[in-house]
A and B are shown apart, each in its own frame.
Chain A
């Protein structure tokens, strides 16, 4: 499996081990610690994942090498997908909570004036 053939692939996969789908290195372009660290945290929460880490190969290039090793034959792609979904859900929950609290705060601000 290789990256897309469009103008610039955003996500590529480099599989070092022969047929083992559980150990994959993903190359993500135009990303840095912002997504790298938070995604690593979400993926590590997954009990199927044995190893998860990311490096920025060189600070002048904005790409990260993201490595996932799973145990039990689970494909690494699935762990990545689950991690991304979890991070998305976390973001959604934070957004809902924040907007609710801002709404309450603004209502409280208006009330003393009435």
Chain B
């Protein structure tokens, strides 16, 4: 354990609002994979779950529309909400303010009376003919108006096209969002993707110089191998193996393939986390680690309860 704490380190390469790249060194593959799996499937978010369609005269079928609405990312901090109790399944179970967000979509397409006679551009002819995610309105329940006074709950992106309408068609929909995890349905996944790769390791078994060095440099991605001047001859040196995309081009060349050994550093993981925008990526990783810890804690509690019986 102390050995682990001594060898373990994290380096953050890049961090902004929507994605981050960081290195984890000194950890085993099983735990790195556990973090990746949790980021994809077990960090909870809020998404539209129940769609009450009061009127839908558009060309998009009810179920297709409901499916599309479910996939829209909703910018609401899931940590402020609770999971909905799986017990009650009553028909109009209007969720309480602690576990449900209510959104409404009410839009009607009409003809534009000011359009010119010959135009065929839908943007001129019709009003509200494209339904975007910015048309979703938040209806605060209970004390949500006070709790979320600083920022209103809305979709992460304003310009997601939900449906297209023509004059006379309208949508009148009420939606309930609940908290869920990606394991239940992919719409609850908080990451666009989360992946890791191992740091490539390139070892030159012999000294490579001259024209062979040039050829070697071109076999790898740019920046991996540099040529330095040693006593007038160009010698190849591995500068930054991180940039390599591991295409193994060098093994195609008969004269070069025995001079290089390609491998991976077994405990150096380069994580890339892209968030959908609901939570910043560093918060997501923190949440994922906490989910793993809470799983362990839950089993420990189970064991102590069973022992005491």
* Residues of A near any B CB (own CB < 8 A): 1, 3-4, 10-11, 13, 28, 31-35, 37-41, 77, 80-81, 84-95, 97-99, 101-102, 105-106, 109
| B279 → A minimal CB distance (Å) | 13
Asked if A34 and B34 make an inter-chain contact with CB atoms under 8 angstroms apart, the answer reads: yes
| B97 → A minimal CB distance (Å) | 26
Asked if B37 and A90 make an inter-chain contact with CB atoms under 8 angstroms apart, the answer reads: no
Asked if B34 and A89 make an inter-chain contact with CB atoms under 8 angstroms apart, the answer reads: no
| B10 → A minimal CB distance (Å) | 5
The residues of A that contact B203 with a CB separation of less than 8 Å are none
Q: How many residues of B contact A (CB 8 A)?
A: 40
**Given A41-B30, A84-B299: A11 touches B10 (CB 8 Å cut-off):** no
**Given A35-B34, A37-B34: A95 touches B289 (CB 8 Å cut-off):** yes
Could you list some 20 contacts between A and B, CB below 8 A? A11-B302, A35-B34, A38-B33, A41-B30, A81-B300, A84-B299, A88-B297, A89-B1, A90-B4, A90-B31, A91-B293, A93-B4, A93-B5, A94-B24, A95-B293, A98-B10, A99-B286, A101-B12, A101-B22, A102-B15
**Given A87-B296, A93-B5, A102-B12: A1 touches B31 (CB 8 Å cut-off):** no
Partner of B298, one of A4, A10, A33, A101: A10
* Cα distance, A80 to B299, chains bound together (Å): 10
- Chain A residue nearest to B42 (CB atoms) is A34
The residues of A that contact B292 with a CB separation of less than 8 Å are 34-35, 38, 87, 91
Partner of A80, one of B1, B282, B297, B303: B303
* Cα distance, A35 to B33, chains bound together (Å): 10
**Given A35-B295, A84-B299, A91-B296: A97 touches B8 (CB 8 Å cut-off):** yes
- Chain A residue nearest to B35 (CB atoms) is A94
* Cα distance, A106 to B292, chains bound together (Å): 25
* B260: Cβ under 8 A from any A Cβ: no
Asked if A4 and B302 make an inter-chain contact with CB atoms under 8 angstroms apart, the answer reads: yes
The residues of A that contact B11 with a CB separation of less than 8 Å are 101
Interface membership of chain B positions 36-59, coded 1 if the CB is closer than 8 angstroms to chain A and 0 otherwise: 011001100000000000000000
User: Which residues of B in the span 283-297 have a Cβ within 8 Å of any Cβ on A?
Assistant: 285-286, 289-290, 292-293, 295-297
* Cα distance, A92 to B285, chains bound together (Å): 13
The residues of A that contact B1 with a CB separation of less than 8 Å are 86, 89-90
* B84: Cβ under 8 A from any A Cβ: no
**Given A4-B305, A33-B37: A94 touches B8 (CB 8 Å cut-off):** yes
| Additional 19 contacts, C-beta under 8 A, given A35-B292, A41-B31, A91-B292 | A33-B37, A34-B37, A34-B41, A34-B292, A35-B296, A37-B30, A37-B34, A38-B30, A38-B31, A38-B33, A39-B296, A77-B303, A84-B303, A86-B1, A90-B1, A95-B293, A97-B9, A98-B10, A109-B15
The residues of B that contact A35 with a CB separation of less than 8 Å are 34, 292, 295-296
- Chain A residue nearest to B293 (CB atoms) is A91
The residues of B that contact A32 with a CB separation of less than 8 Å are 37
Asked if A41 and B28 make an inter-chain contact with CB atoms under 8 angstroms apart, the answer reads: yes
The residues of A that contact B302 with a CB separation of less than 8 Å are 4, 10-11
**CB-based closest 8 A-B pairs:** A91-B293, A37-B30, A88-B296, A38-B34, A41-B30, A34-B37, A105-B12, A95-B289
* B61: Cβ under 8 A from any A Cβ: no
- Which among B5, B8, B31, B286 has the highest number of chain A CB atoms within 10 Å? B31
The residues of B that contact A99 with a CB separation of less than 8 Å are 286
Interface membership of chain B positions 104-131, coded 1 if the CB is closer than 8 angstroms to chain A and 0 otherwise: 0000000000000000000000000000
| A7 → B minimal CB distance (Å) | 9
Interface membership of chain B positions 13-36, coded 1 if the CB is closer than 8 angstroms to chain A and 0 otherwise: 001000000101001101101100
Asked if B33 and A37 make an inter-chain contact with CB atoms under 8 angstroms apart, the answer reads: yes
Asked if A28 and B299 make an inter-chain contact with CB atoms under 8 angstroms apart, the answer reads: yes
| B288 → A minimal CB distance (Å) | 10
* Cα distance, A95 to B290, chains bound together (Å): 8
